[in-house]
């Protein structure tokens, strides 16, 4: 067996493997996939030249409309990214490094990881960050698993207004862990704090909240975190990192673990990734945190240096006591986020967050002036809000695409009874002229659908 746990080809008997997992054939492994989605055979064309491939791919790329004005959110946002961020992250010093196990040859990469952790700690108001996990959904699961390791409890109270994709990932990742996820329905687009408090007891490992909620609504959950602690539970909060330059931080609320996706920190909207899951916690919980953590130290001569700390390289040999080690994106995504934070600085982050909030306030007022359109919730929002339309939101979005707008997320695809609800987001990139044009396009699209 190799250093990374790969089994040499041919060393496992297929029949024995199938027997071990409890199936009769390889085909049985795919039983959960609907028949119509299975590929019977690969009907591949004859090979063509490099030039022909390039020409074909170029033609396909032109089918993507890159000129759409983006009002989509739901966890991933169209923020401005300084050109220097990509230029610096693409330098050979970063792109040729992968896993900095040996500090004597990886000080630059390790220091960048340390700076990333420092930036995330300052942003969240918490004390210890890792570097990093794959995406926001992975981070949510890791927070649940970490809460179990801390409390020994397997029951979780889950805010009904968290990202539904994260909710699905949470249940999928924990399918074999005997965890119990109890959803507490939201109230007015955000967590129902009183219902959560009423449901808390000595069996709950953690309360999992999101602020702003998936619907864009914000609240102060200081009292919820305190109630969780009184029950011996932890408080986990899913955050939109750029909003933390503007809103009360998880640390200020007494949250134990802050998680989420750091795509808004310098990473482009790239058809679903690669993105960056962040995870920050308190010092007392640091030893239960998964992923790589970079620490600052000094050598025997007193020189400042950086090393991976708190867990051994081959920590997975600890079997059931091991924590996850899914952080291959540290040398691309986390470094890019570090560069973005350094370029923007404290004032730049605040200005981007403030502009996003102001644009959203203007858009909400403008869009609700369209006949038949109203705000779905009355709660305060950051830069995202839900609109109730007089007709199917999905069909309206199709019309908006024809008019040059990525008009938002139809919520009927995620929530029963919300077929007429549209989730709209604004960032600092959206101008008043674009918002005004979007309002006119929305009015026209509704008339065409009705």
Q: Place 3 in a pLDDT band, splitting at 50, 70 and 90.
A: very low
Say what percent of the chain tops pLDDT 70. Answer: 92
On average, the pLDDT of the chain sits at 91
Pick the range with the lowest mean pLDDT from 50-64, 369-383, 407-421, 435-449. 50-64
pLDDT for the residue 99: 66
Does residue 296 share a domain with residue 160?
yes
Within a 10 A sphere around the Cβ of 181, how many other Cβ atoms?
Answer: 15
Q: Do 208 and 190 sit in the same domain of this protein?
A: yes
Q: Is residue 35 part of a domain?
A: no
Note whether residue 56 is domain-resident. Answer: no
Residue that has been written with the tokens 């990734």 in this structure: 273
| 377 plus 305 within the same structural domain | no
- Of all residues in the chain, what percent carry a pLDDT higher than 90? 74
Q: Is the pLDDT of residue 31 over 90?
A: no
Please tell me whether residues 302 and 204 are part of one structural domain.
yes
pLDDT at 197: 98
pLDDT tens digits for range 316-348: 566 666 676 665 666 789 999 999 999 999 999
Q: For residue range 74-130, list pLDDT tens digits in order.
A: 999 999 999 999 999 888 877 665 667 778 888 888 899 999 999 999 999 999 999
Using an 8 Å Cβ cutoff, are 224 and 174 in contact? no
Q: Tell me whether residue 2 is in a domain.
A: no
Specify if 51 maps to a domain: no
pLDDT at 6: 45
pLDDT in tens, 169-197: 999 999 999 999 999 999 999 999 999 99
Bridge partner list, 128: 281
pLDDT at 273: 80
User: Is 190 in the same domain as 332?
Assistant: yes
Reduced to 3 states (helix: H, G, I; strand: E, B; else coil), residue 80 is coil
Helical pair 333-367 and 107-124, crossing angle rounded to 10 deg: 30
* Residue 280 domain flag: yes
Per-residue pLDDT of 138-155, as tens digits, reads: 999 999 999 999 999 999
In a domain, 20, yes or no: no
pLDDT top residue among 273 and 398: 398
Same domain, 174 and 136: yes
CATH number of residue 350's parent domain: 3.90.1150.10
Cβ-contact 235, 256 below 8 angstroms: yes
Same domain, 197 and 280: yes
Which of 290, 305, 340 terminates a domain? The answer is 340
pTM higher than 0.85, yes or no? yes
What CATH number is associated with residue 199? Answer: 3.40.640.10
- Residue 274 pLDDT class (50, 70, 90 cuts): confident
Task: Give the pLDDT of residue 283.
Answer: 96
Q: Are residues 332 and 351 in the same domain?
A: no
What pLDDT, on a 0 to 100 scale, did the predictor assign at position 229?
Answer: 98
pLDDT at 8 over 60: no
Boundaries of domain holding 250 = 83-340
**Domain check: are 386 and 302 in the same one?**
no
Number of domains in the chain: 2
Picking from 52, 120, 149, the residue whose alpha carbon sits closest to that of residue 337 is 120
Same domain, 321 and 369: no
Q: In whole angstroms, give the CA distance from residue 398 to residue 406.
A: 9
Question: What pLDDT sits at residue 7?
Answer: 47
In the structure encoding, which two tokens stand for residue 111, read together? 């220091």
Rounded CA separation 285/147 (Å):
9
Domain boundary among 340, 369, 401: 340
Is residue 57 one of the residues assigned to a domain? Answer: no
Secondary structure letter of residue 133 according to DSSP: B
Q: Cα(58)–Cα(255) distance, rounded to whole angstroms?
A: 48
Domain-embedded: residue 204: yes
Q: Which of 340, 375, 391 is the last residue of a domain?
A: 340
Same domain? For 93 and 183 the reply is yes
- 300 and 432 in a single domain? The answer is no
Closest among 383, 380, 450 to 423, alpha carbons compared: 383
**Element housing 342 (H / E):** helix 333-367
Q: Among positive and negative, which fits the CA dihedral 99, 100, 106, 109? A: positive
Task: Give the residue-averaged pLDDT of 377-387.
Answer: 98
């Amino acid at each position: 067996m190799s250093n990374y746990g790969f089994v040499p080809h041919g060393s496992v008997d297929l029949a024995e493997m199938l027997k071990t997992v409890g199936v009769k054939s390889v085909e049985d492994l795919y039983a959960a996939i609907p028949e119509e989605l299975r590929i019977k055979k690969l009907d591949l064309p004859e090979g063509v030249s490099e030039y022909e491939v390039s020409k074909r791919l170029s033609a396909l790329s032109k089918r993507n409309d890159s000129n759409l004005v983006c009002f989509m959110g739901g966890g991933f946002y169209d923020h401005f990214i300084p050109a220097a961020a990509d230029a610096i992250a693409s330098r050979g010093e970063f792109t040729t490094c992968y896993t900095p196990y040996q500090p004597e040859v990886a000080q630059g990469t390790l220091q960048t990881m340390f700076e990333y952790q420092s930036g995330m700690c300052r942003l969240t108001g918490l004390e210890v960050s890792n570097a990093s996990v794959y995406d926001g959904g992975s981070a949510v699961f890791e927070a649940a698993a970490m809460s179990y390791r801390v409390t020994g409890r397997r029951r979780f109270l889950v805010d009904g207004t968290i990202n539904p994709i994260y909710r699905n990932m949470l249940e999928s990742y924990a399918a074999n862990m005997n965890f119990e996820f109890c959803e507490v329905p939201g109230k007015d687009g955000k967590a129902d704090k009183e219902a959560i408090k009423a449901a808390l007891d000595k069996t709950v490992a953690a309360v999992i909240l999101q602020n702003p909620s998936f619907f864009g609504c914000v609240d102060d959950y200081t009292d919820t975190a305190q109630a969780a602690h009184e029950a011996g539970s932890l408080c986990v909060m899913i955050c939109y990192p750029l909003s933390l330059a503007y809103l009360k931080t998880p640390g200020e609320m007494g949250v134990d673990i802050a998680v989420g996706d750091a795509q808004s920190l310098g990473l482009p909207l790239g058809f679903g990734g690669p993105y960056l899951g962040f995870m920050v916690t308190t010092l007392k919980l640091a030893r239960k945190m998964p992923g790589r953590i970079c620490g600052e130290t000094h050598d025997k001569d007193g020189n400042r240096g950086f090393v991976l700390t708190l867990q051994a390289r081959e920590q997975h040999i600890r079997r059931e006591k091991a924590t996850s080690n899914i952080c291959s994106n540290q040398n691309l995504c986390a470094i890019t986020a570090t560069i973005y934070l350094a370029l923007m600085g404290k004032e730049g982050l605040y200005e981007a967050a403030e502009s996003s909030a102001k644009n959203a306030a203007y858009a909400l007022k403008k869009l609700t002036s369209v006949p038949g359109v109203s705000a779905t919730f009355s709660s305060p929002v950051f830069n995202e809000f839900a609109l109730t339309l007089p007709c199917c939101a999905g069909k309206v979005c199709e019309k908006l695409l024809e008019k040059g707008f990525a008009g938002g997320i139809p919520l009927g695809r995620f929530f029963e009874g919300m077929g007429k609800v549209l989730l709209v987001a604004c960032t600092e990139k959206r101008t008043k002229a674009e918002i005004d044009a979007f309002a006119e396009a929305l009015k026209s699209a509704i008339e065409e659908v009705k």
